[in-house]
Amino acid sequence: MEEISWQKSSYTGVNGNCVEVSEPRGLVRDSKDPNGPWLRVDVLAFVRAVKAGRFER
């Protein structure tokens, strides 16, 4: 099985709550629950949606 490399968000707070993304597979997970479910996303579409302000803070 292929090992997955995870990267934490550069906006990780002091408490460590953030999301992590994998390279290059396009997976997203909650850093508080690394063994929990993963979400597969189209990375380019996701980044475009974030930049367009389509998500609430």
Report residues of the chain scoring pLDDT below 70. Answer: 1-2, 13, 16, 24, 57
pTM: 0.60
Amino acid at position 25, single letter = R
The whole-chain average pLDDT of the chain stands at 82
- Residue 22 pairs with which residues in a beta bridge? 6
The answer to whether the Cα torsion of 37, 2, 25, 10 is positive or negative is: positive
Amino acid at position 32, single letter = K
pLDDT at 52: 93
pLDDT at 28: 87
